[in-house]
Amino acid sequence: MKVLSKLSGHNLVRALPNINYDKDKICEACIKGKQTKSSFHSKNAITSQRVQELLHIDLFGTTKILSLHGKSYGFVVVDDFTKFMWVLMLPYKDKSFEAFKKFCKKVQKEKGLKNYLYKE
């Protein structure tokens, strides 16, 4: 900003508008670009009524260090009702749906759910 102010003040550049360049002023575009949203408020009550009614899922990868079986993607599932968390390691991203189907069937059998949420 100092350089622009000097150039403008001494008329060293043609067609440079004579504007006061304030040192500590932040332009509107910078302000909008650096805006951050406030975080969501925490829930005090559990909104789901049963296991596997609401799942929070995240897929991440590739990891720098491979798993024991050479897999580099992680598939994280958190059940909202029980707060249980599972991490499934995957070799490729496109295997996530197959892993999710197997995971749902396994949990439904373990929990004894009669009406399966995922049916083939």
The pLDDT score that the predictor gives to residue 11 is 73
Q: Tell me the C-alpha distance between 53 and 106, whole Å.
A: 15
pLDDT tens-digit map of 105-118: 888 888 787 655 55
The whole model's pTM is what?
0.57
Phi-psi region at 100: left, alpha or beta (left = phi > 0; alpha = psi -120 to 50): alpha
Indicate the pLDDT class of residue 37, thresholds 50, 70 and 90. low
Provide the CA 29 distance to its chain's centre, in angstroms: 24
Q: Answer for the pair 93, 59: CB distance below 8 angstroms, yes or no.
A: yes
pLDDT tens-digit map of 4-26: 677 777 777 777 777 666 666 77
Q: Domain ranges in the chain?
A: 2-33, 37-120
